[in-house]
Amino acid sequence: MADEEGLIQGLKDQRPVALKDFLEQYQERVYNTALSFVKDVPDAEELAQDVFLTVWNSISGFKGESSLSTWVYRITVSKSLDLIRSKQRKKRFAFLTSLTTTRNEIKHHPVNWVHPGILQENKEKAAYLFRAIDQLPDNQKIAFTLSKLEQLSQREIAEVMQIKEGAVESLIQRAKQNLRKYLEGIYDEIK
C-alpha cells in the first residue's frame, strides 16, 4: 500500500493502480461520511463514487496544503450537503405539484433511519438522535457528525471546515445544546 505522498503522485500521474489503492484506503471513510449525511444507502454509494471521480479529475489542482484525507472529507461533506439541498428542493417541488395533482407520491427520508454502524442496543435511541441532527444548521451538523460518527479530532474537523479549532469546539457545544432541546421535544411527543 502506497504512502500518502506516493498515492498523491500516483493519482496525479493518473495511474489506475493508484486509484485502486486510494479506493481501498478511502472507500469506507467516504461512504460512511456520506451515509451519515444523506441517510440513504444507494445515494451514499453513488455520492462516494462521485467523490472518487472528483478526486481523480481534480487531483492535479491539489496543492498539498492540507492532508489528502482532509481534502477528501471536504469534498465528501460538500457533495453530501449539495445532495441534501437538492433533495429538499425536489421535495418542496413535489409538495407543490402534489397540490395540483391527484397522485401523492412525495418521498421522504425514513423518519426512523439509523446509521448501520450504530451498535444494535443503541439503534432505537440513535434513530431519535438522527432525527434531531437533521434539524441542526449545516455547520453544527458537519462538526457534530464528523466528531461523533467519524470520530475526527477537533483539529481535523477544523481543517475540513477551514475554521479555527476553537470555533469547532463552540460549534459542537452549540450542536449539543440544540440537540438536547430537540430531543426534549421528541421526548414530550413520544412519552
Partner 1 sequence: MQTEKQIWVEEVLNSADGAVRAQSSDMTDAVMSRLGTAREYTISPVSNDNSLIWRIAASVALLLLLNVVTIYSYLSNIKRSAQVLEVRAAASEFGLGQSAASDPAAAIFGN
Q: CB-wise, 17 or 96, nearer to partner 1? A: 17
Residues 27-66 that bind partner 1 (CB under 8 A): 27-29, 31-32, 35, 41, 44-45, 48-49, 52-53, 56-57
Site for partner 1 contains 125 (CB under 8 A)? yes
Number of chain residues interacting with partner 1 (CB under 8 A):
40
CB of 186 to partner 1, least distance (A): 8
Site for partner 1 contains 115 (CB under 8 A)? yes
Residues 159-178 that bind partner 1 (CB under 8 A): 176
Site for partner 1 contains 77 (CB under 8 A)? no
SS3 track for the chain: CCCHHHHHHHHHCCCHHHHHHHHHHHHHHHHHHHHHHHCCHHHHHHHHHHHHHHHHHHHHHCCCCCCHHHHHHHHHHHHHHHHHHHHHHHHHHHHHHHHHCCCCCCCCCCCCCCCCCCCHHHHHHHHHHHHHHCCCCHHHHHHHHHHHCCCCCHHHHHHHHCCCHHHHHHHHHHHHHHHHHHHHHHHHHHC
CB of 93 to partner 1, least distance (A): 27
Q: CB-wise, 28 or 88, nearer to partner 1? A: 28
Neighbours of 176 (CB within 10 A): 13
- Positions that interact with partner 1 (CB under 8 A): 16, 19-20, 23, 27-29, 31-32, 35, 41, 44-45, 48-49, 52-53, 56-57, 115-119, 122, 125-126, 128-129, 132, 148-149, 176, 179-180, 183-184, 187-188, 191
